[in-house]
């Protein structure tokens, strides 16, 4: 028989980690399950040879007072540092808007690892379906393993979460379903390129170029997370869509053509490259509220809570995911396992 928890959380990105922390702090039994090789989701850092590169989120900003208090704590602990107050767009007018951009000392994924300390989680577990039972919820993974709980938290990009409940035949209230069906995401192709020597990128080693094919270019060595010269290059949404189905070598060849004039040095050469495809990089608009918490009825009419959190609420960024998970987790703790 499956081990029963008060709450099972699908996805150990920032929103899932924060929801789990809130529930555990409130005394609930919680287990996180993630299909990735490590926790963090889009807070992703990849090792390439002797170097490291952030392949998902590159930095974060702070608007929310509660998030600000956490960030101050991470800075005091030496986990997070202020990287910049604006990015050059490649023109002669580098944009310094006075708004701090923070990064994580050992790469963005290290913050997720830090937040997973003390939580019960399993990685390399891909859920396939979420269904209602007489007592609550039953989850099944792709290996046929079964998990049971009183409540479930869904944190994956919304279309992926909806697929799980559709596979389990879960019917949501009409309005909730319509809200979730409205969420759309931008794809993002990311190229990690090892280069032969210093890059000519302006301080602090990154460029943000709105309305161009290469939206973001950062030197992870100058960011302070890599021993080797590794660039993270993000393609814009339209350019990502245009290159999506090409072989990796062809993607790198096309990106290199756009990159050469930006690097401003003839000696620049790509010595190795990897391509990461994020089908759901960021939602294109925000949903109302901080999360979506619904009571789902079974055939006999008894209900069990289902919580959706993530960056589709509170802003399509690191901070939004964090805050959504934190507030959603707290709200669920009021309903379950008391």
- Residues engaged in binding ligand FAD (CB under 6 A): 10-16, 33-36, 41-43, 56-60, 126-127, 155-157, 160, 164, 188, 190, 234, 278, 281-282, 310-311, 316-318, 321
Nearer to ligand FAD, 198 or 242 (CB): 242
Nearer to ligand FAD, 85 or 269 (CB): 85
Half-sphere exposure of 209 (CA within 13 A, CB side): 21
* Shortest CB 297 distance to ligand FAD, Å: 24
Half-sphere exposure of 254 (CA within 13 A, CB side): 19
* Shortest CB 21 distance to ligand FAD, Å: 13
H helices of 143-206, where?
A: 158-167, 174-181
Alpha-carbon span 317 to 208, nearest angstrom: 16
Nearer to ligand FAD, 36 or 202 (CB): 36
* Shortest CB 319 distance to ligand FAD, Å: 6
* Shortest CB 99 distance to ligand FAD, Å: 12
Nearer to ligand FAD, 41 or 90 (CB): 41
Return the bridge partners of 185, or none.
283
User: Phi-psi category of 270—alpha, beta or left, where left has phi over 0 and alpha has psi -120 to 50?
Assistant: beta
* Shortest CB 230 distance to ligand FAD, Å: 15
How far are the Cα atoms of 23, 84, 96, 176, 284 from residue 127, in angstroms, in the given order?
21, 38, 44, 22, 25
Residue of 55, 33, 56, 291 lying closest to 158 (CA atoms): 291
Give me the residue label for tokens 């245009």.
242
Nearer to ligand FAD, 123 or 198 (CB): 123
């Amino acid at each position: 028989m499956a081990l029963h928890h008060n709450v099972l959380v699908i996805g150990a990105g920032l929103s899932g980690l924060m929801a789990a922390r809130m529930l555990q702090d409130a005394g609930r039994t919680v287990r996180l399950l993630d299909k990735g090789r490590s926790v963090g989701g889009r807070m992703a850092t990849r090792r390439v040879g002797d170097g490291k590169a952030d392949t998902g989120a590159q930095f974060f900003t702070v608007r929310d007072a509660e998030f600000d208090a956490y960030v101050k704590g991470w800075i005091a602990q030496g986990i997070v540092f202020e990287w910049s107050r604006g990015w050059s767009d490649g023109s002669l007018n580098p944009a310094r808007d006075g708004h701090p951009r923070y990064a994580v000392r050992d790469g963005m994924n290290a913050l997720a690892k830090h937040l997973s300390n003390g939580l019960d989680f399993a990685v390399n577990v891909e859920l396939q379906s979420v269904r209602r039972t007489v007592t609550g919820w039953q989850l099944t993974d792709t290996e046929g393993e079964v998990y049971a709980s009183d409540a479930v938290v869904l944190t994956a990009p919304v279309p992926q979460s909806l697929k799980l409940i559709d596979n389990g035949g879960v019917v949501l209230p009409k309005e909730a379903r319509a809200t979730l069906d409205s969420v759309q995401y931008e794809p993002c192709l990311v190229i990690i390129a090892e280069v032969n020597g210093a890059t000519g990128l302006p301080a602090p080693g990154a460029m943000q170029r709105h309305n161009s094919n290469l939206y973001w270019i950062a030197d992870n060595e100058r960011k302070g997370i890599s021993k080797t010269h590794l660039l993270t290059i993000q393609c814009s949404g339209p350019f990502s869509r245009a290159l999506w189905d090409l072989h990796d070598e062809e993607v790198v060849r096309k990106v290199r053509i756009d990159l050469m004039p930006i690097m401003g040095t003839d000696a620049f050469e790509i010595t190795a490259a990897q391509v990461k495809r994020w089908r759901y990089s960021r939602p294109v608009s925000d949903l109302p509220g901080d999360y979506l918490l619904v009571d789902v009825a079974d055939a006999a009419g008894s209900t069990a809570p289902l919580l959706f959190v993530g960056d589709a609420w509170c802003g399509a960024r690191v901070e939004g995911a964090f805050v959504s998970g934190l507030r959603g987790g707290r709200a669920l703790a009021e309903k379950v396992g008391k």
